[in-house]
Amino acid sequence: MFNSILDLLLFFLISLGYWKIFNKCGIKSFWAFIPFAREYHISLCADRELEGRVYTIHSAIAYVILSLNHIIKNEMAVALLTIVLLAVYISRYVYQIRIYLGLIKVFERKKNFIWLLVIFEVPALLYLGFSKKCMPNKKFIDYRKLDGAMVSGVETEDTDSGLSVNINERTTFEFFKKIMLLKDIHMTIPRGRMVLLLGGSGAGKTTFVNAVTGYEKADATVKLDGNDIYEEYSKMIYDVGFVPQQDLMRDNDTVLLTLSDAASLRLPSSVGFIEINERINHVLKEFGLESVKNSLVEKLSGGQRKRLSIAMEYISDPSLFILDEPDSGLDGVVARSIFEKLRAIADEGKIVIVISHTPDRVADLFDDLIVLAKDKTRAGRLAWYGPLKEAYEFFGADSLEDVLLTINQKEEGGQGRADEFVEEYAKRIIEKVG
């Protein structure tokens, strides 16, 4: 990494400036002396975290290429690597300027201070770090270290007829830190229920669905009719259906061919040809697609296309059926017809869970409501699970849009009361078992 005493000196002086800047911004100072980690953490000081990720990756790539240039002897390969290195340096430089512009804003310097940072980087960073006149107007908040809302810790009991979910936590690692995505989510959903999954942006709806279906495992136990989805994933995958927001159909295929392909993927290999055809004909009739079975997908209306997308997953006759915004892009009448069909599926003894951003127009069709909210640590927490009608009283809201407004963070235009309701719900659960 250091080819000369000068390189080592420059690294030390820049790290020294970062060290004082980190200290002012509330970031652990030792990160200033760790290569690549310091590039990321300076972006946190500048309130430019996303740019910092790219900047850090580019710095690491540049280091790898420089190292390869010292090892490889082939002149052509060295020339190609040099060209790539130049492109990486240019891109890295652009992101570095963006980060430094953010740093100038946080430290309330004039915009032309960027020239000092670009041309005289070392003295400019040392000045920002050591000068008592330069103080940030905001400090970095490490939400992971805040005390989140109360944890109930009350696990739901398994059921032989329905879905039991006990998620202790779902975490991931991103750029030198552990991120809590979900925490303390416990519920039992009986068969025959149609449930709305509600939550603001980043509240963990997709993460929750992935954890429940076993697509992304959490520290959790998820059982469907007493069968462990995680431990018996290869078997249970046919009993769980998930319809994404964006369909995965080929426009040049017919409806019949689309369902045939779906059947080959969604049905076990043990299912015979006759049974497959019977299943295809059943879903064609079930979703009103018989009259267009020989039509190309690109010729379908928005409602027909959505019905086909749902039919593709329903062809395996799943007990648990999850849909992400099935009404996206549809007008009110068509959307309601889709939800009425989902209501009929639930009434057949299935469990239907729906994510929707415009649920008020079909709220009367749902039995229960799951509300996920970000607490002060930015982890997805359970703020409510239960009858939809009771949820209005719990949140003091007249509509589901008002519920979202209540729990969304203030920077998202909400009231920022997520922790209040997470704790209130946790207390209710504790009282029930006590």
Segment 5-22 shows an average pLDDT of 91
CA distance from start to end of the chain: 60
> At 203, is the secondary structure helix, strand, or coil?
coil
CB 384 within 8 A of CB 210: no
| pLDDT the model gives residue 106 | 95
pLDDT tens readout for residues 346-360? 999 999 999 988 889
Q: What is the mean pLDDT of the chain?
A: 91
CB 399 within 8 A of CB 359: no
pLDDT tens readout for residues 387-410? 999 999 999 999 999 999 999 988
Name the band, by pLDDT with cuts 50, 70 and 90, for residue 3.
low
CB 182 within 8 A of CB 335: no
Cα distances (angstroms) measured from residue 128 to each of 35, 47, 121 = 20, 16, 11
Fold of the domain spanning 162-433: Rossmann fold (3.40.50)
- Percent of the chain whose predicted confidence (pLDDT) is above 70: 98
Name the band, by pLDDT with cuts 50, 70 and 90, for residue 73.
confident
- Cα separation, 325 vs 138, whole angstroms: 37
- Percent of the chain whose predicted confidence (pLDDT) is above 90: 72
CB 326 within 8 A of CB 246: no
Name the band, by pLDDT with cuts 50, 70 and 90, for residue 332.
confident
pLDDT tens readout for residues 207-247? 999 999 999 999 999 999 999 999 999 889 999 999 998 88
| pLDDT the model gives residue 179 | 86
Q: What is the pTM of this model?
A: 0.78
CB 360 within 8 A of CB 399: yes
Three-state secondary structure along 303-360? HHHHHHHHHHHHCCCCCEEEEECCCCCCCHHHHHHHHHHHHHHHHCCCEEEEECCCHH
Assess whether pLDDT exceeds 90 at residue 293: yes
Domain boundaries, the chain: 5-135, 162-433
Length of the chain: 434
Residue 217 φ/ψ, nearest 5 degrees: -70, 145
- Cα separation, 381 vs 365, whole angstroms: 25
